[in-house]
Structure 1
Amino acid sequence: MHRIITIIYGLLALGYVLTTLYTPYSWGFLLKASPILLLAVTVLTRRSLPAKWMLLGAILSSACGDMLLALPIEHSFILGLSAFALAHVLYACFLYQWHDVTRLTPLTIGFFFVYVVSMLLLLVPSVGALLAPVLAYFIVISLMFFSAFVARTPTYTLRVGAILFVTSDSLLAINAFITPLPFQSILVMSSYYAAQYFIATGCMALAKENHGN
């Protein structure tokens, strides 16, 4: 990705992260989604990018999730969760075009299994009526996670992005259902913006590396 776009993305992300330390304001949802919308514009301008619309759909779904979670509307959490679930499915579908299951190691599977079991043991007693959507979300984020780890690319960009996305969602869930975290907005949003950047750039690089193969 062009250095100028990276700098603008970082400044937009930093701008929103800093505003979370203050009282919410009416148009905060737009600033929250602005870094992700910048990624969408970047993908849109890549004329020769294979399966561009699938990747664009994943990024725009994420932006919708950002705004829905930030808006003071009824069922905002479920709507936002659904938008992000769709984003994970689209990311996984995009990555599946260039998958190689031999890249997935027993160690990765084992660590992720321990993570999922640990999170479920913590969350299940606390989520109440949201158990079904939370479980469904774990399924789709797992799909995205493993799709990133089996992608046929020589770099670790996608893997870093997937780990950061799981980290961000885990921090958000812990804060929402288990115990308030200090500086949770900074921790959640910083890891989230980094995750989206690494995943989007990793997807574009992956498509370029394997185009025509």
Structure 2
Amino acid sequence: MTDRTLTVNKTDLLNWDALKSIEVGAAKTKAATEKDGVVTLRFVKSDKFEHLASLMRLLQNKGGFPGLDIDAAEQHRSVVTSDKKKVFVFQHGYEGNEKEKLFHYAVDIRQRGIYTHGLIGGHHDGYLQGLYMYLKLIKKLEPLACLQTMLDLLAKSKLPKGTKRPAIKLKEVLTVTNGREEVPKTPKEITITSYVELS
């Protein structure tokens, strides 16, 4: 992969002071420069994301994902529809209590799909990889466009200080109690406040 260049408004950066001090190579070329309020990021690469996409494609082609179609939008489980808008969820898609071993899921974890650990697991990781896979596989964007779109979506999702993001509510579709799964008789609402709007 060749080096890529991305742009972002300086006002959307949290770490401009740290970013502007990064230098690359023997020539000590600045990795980020600013002009008229727009920051240009240089030497950006999509290799790690592209390696993941290639691995997923290879595994699917070799039968490594029985019943999973990585090109099917509905199988990208971090993408949900709320008020007729598609959003990518950047938080746990469940509420739960580890001590009581009781969890209320807004996504059906029994279904095949592309999940992020952050959506259904105990840690907050994998979101950017999941978003990249959606943009690459479903939106059919080229690597540079995927990275720029990710940056734009994250920057656009920034709210003014003191403003709260309007919550979206997802209905619980699965209750897991002590490892036993069941469809809830009276579904809870799961509140999602960390997301980016895709459409």
Which TM-score band applies after superposition, normalised by the shorter structure? under 0.3
**Larger Rg belongs to:** 2
- TM, length-normalised to structure 1: 0.24
Q: Give the number of the structure whose residues are more often helix, by fraction.
A: 1
- TM, length-normalised to structure 2: 0.25
Q: Give the number of the structure whose residues are more often strand, by fraction.
A: 2
